[in-house]
Amino acid sequence: MIKRNLLVMGLAVLLSACGFQLRGTGTTELAFKELDLSARNAYGETVTQLRQVLTGSGVNVHAGAPYKLVLTDEQESQRILSYAGAGRTGEYQVTTVLEYDIRGQNNLPLISDKLEVEKIFIHDGNNLVGSDQEANTARVETRRELVQRMMIRLQQITPARLEQLQATADARAKADADALEAAQKAEAETPRQSPLEIPQQ
């Protein structure tokens, strides 16, 4: 318990140093005034909590917003770190990886990245109920930290950075379209070989 409390306090200090504020303690200034938020699991806990925090930070979350945050994949894994007490008690680590895209105008991808959070909990073979509670607590804390880290990532994106990312995406899309048009034009202008005629015997 003491280790967990120290971890939570340390995380709170780290987040406050980064400028992140929890709901009810102030507002987090974001470059995104409007944001479309979606996920593969549209009703999952992560996207639900993130929507609540964004709304609490003054972001208008709605479909059709100029920028879109897409949670493309979320994977959880668990592994054994150590055993003690004749293999009945041990430390387990739960890891959650969240992949996401930020898309701009014309649904062009601006940023593709991922977040990874790890938590350690104790599994006691003599106390299965308590161990299940420990595992559930670790998962809840992992999800909460994912949301907090996502807010920090969003907070670090300035309006100037958004403009730069959009300009780069527009230029890349135009170059791809020009290349495709040139390839199609070259193919259309290439003489097609007539089928061979087999002389009749």
Q: How many distinct helices (H) and strands (E) make up the chain?
A: 4, 5
Are 73 and 95 contacting, i.e. CB atoms less than 8 angstroms apart?
Answer: no
pTM of structure: 0.71
pLDDT tens, position by position, 183-195: 888 888 887 665 5
Domains contained in the chain, CATH given:
2-178 (3.30.160.150)
pLDDT tens, position by position, 39-65: 988 889 999 999 999 999 999 999 999
Are 155 and 19 contacting, i.e. CB atoms less than 8 angstroms apart?
Answer: yes
**Residue 21, pLDDT above cutoff 60:** no
pLDDT tens, position by position, 66-123: 999 999 999 999 888 777 665 566 788 889 999 999 999 999 999 999 999 998 887 6
pLDDT of residue 29: 72
The CA distances from residue 151 to 8, 91, 144, 146, in Å, are 17, 30, 11, 9
pLDDT tens, position by position, 157-200: 999 999 999 999 999 989 988 898 888 888 888 876 655 666 66
58: left (phi > 0), else alpha (psi -120 to 50), else beta? Answer: left
- The contacts of residue 162 (CB under 8 Å, 6+ apart) are 31, 67, 104, 110
Closest-CA residue to 72 (of 42, 30, 32)? 42
Residue 91 pairs in a beta bridge with: 82, 122
Give the dihedral sign, CA 161/162/168/171. negative
